[in-house]
A = this chain, B = another copy of it.
Amino acid sequence: MLTRHLLLHRTVELTHAERAIVRAAIREVRDYAPRETVVAAGQPLSVSMFLVEGLVSRAVTDASGARQLVAIQVAGDFVDLHGYPLRVLDHDVVTITASRFAVVPHSALTEIQHQHPELARKLWFNTLLDASMHRTWVFRLGRLKAASRIAHFLCEINARLMVVGLSDGKSFSLPLTQFDLGEICGLTSIHVNRVMKSLREQQLVSLRKSHVVINDLRKLIRFSHFDPGYLYLNPSVHPAIMGETAQSGHQRPPGQPPVSG
């Protein structure tokens, strides 16, 4: 059941049959060490990698060595599915922790495109989910200041981990250094350090020893202007993501579109 988390709880989901087709397309399983480059920019690709377990980053590096992370991938993400139409990536895929991938040959994806157009459309959707997250990262970097950026990123990761059962909305494992957070949020690690201290002191959130503790999710969401619409989540998981219990939640008016903001 390697693919059990692919497109889980999204506005577009895979059927059981489609899940079986994707599973059948897996050629092998590969393990990578921490901080290992899985795909280098410019390298021609013939397979795409589905992340079964671990934490992985996608990074843009320019000639002068400045590095910016453009995505973080968690278990259940089809990390470089976009390598299938693109054939070559514009960025690097680098593990953060030891990671396990399921490898899908592009020939199998071509086969799916020909035989199962509806499934192909869902895989297309999956790659556009990444694009939607990129847009939110642009917003985060362009419009939020340091503290909100970090809080906003942690809200995103919490939501995505909740979907795959790796966060309960209160705490979760996140093996990122403050330097990593800087490369994600466009900050120096020193400033990240000061901001984390402030977030801790405000009783909003803390990250110690690879473990995030969210003191008050709703307060954190308000503080960071987080709106999960861009994750295209199934409305049923929305309340949990937003820290709304049966009592605490604002009533959501019926008939509202699935994506807000």
What is the interface residue range for chain A against chain B? 35 or more
Interface members, chain A 128-162 (any B CB < 8 Å): 128, 130-132, 134-139, 141-144
- Beta-carbon contact of A138 and B85 below 8 Å: no
The verdict on A68 contacting B142 (CB below 8 Å), with A88-B259, A131-B131, A257-B44 known, is yes
CA distance A43 to B216 in the complex (A): 32
In the complex, the count of this chain's copies comes to 2
- B227–A63 CB distance below 8 A: yes
On chain B, the residues within 8 Å of A193 by CB distance are: none
Q: How far is A193 from B42 in the complex, measured between Cα atoms in Å?
A: 37
What chain B residues lie within 8 Å of A132 (beta carbons)?
86, 90
Which of A15-23, A112-120, A165-173 lines the interface with chain B?
Answer: A112-120
CB closest chain-B residue, reference A121: B85
- Point out which of A82, A110, A139, A144 has the most chain B C-beta atoms below 10 A from its C-beta: A139
**Cβ-defined contact, B261 with A139, below 8 A:** no
Cβ contact within 8 Å between B225 and A63: yes
Question: B259 and A41: CB pair below 8 A?
Answer: yes
Cβ contact of A66, chosen from B62, B86, B135, B143, cutoff 8 A: B143
Pairs across A and B, CB under 8 Å, 22 listed = A41-B229, A42-B258, A42-B259, A60-B136, A63-B227, A66-B143, A66-B225, A68-B143, A70-B134, A70-B138, A82-B131, A84-B121, A85-B128, A86-B125, A86-B128, A86-B232, A88-B258, A89-B259, A117-B120, A127-B128, A137-B138, A141-B186
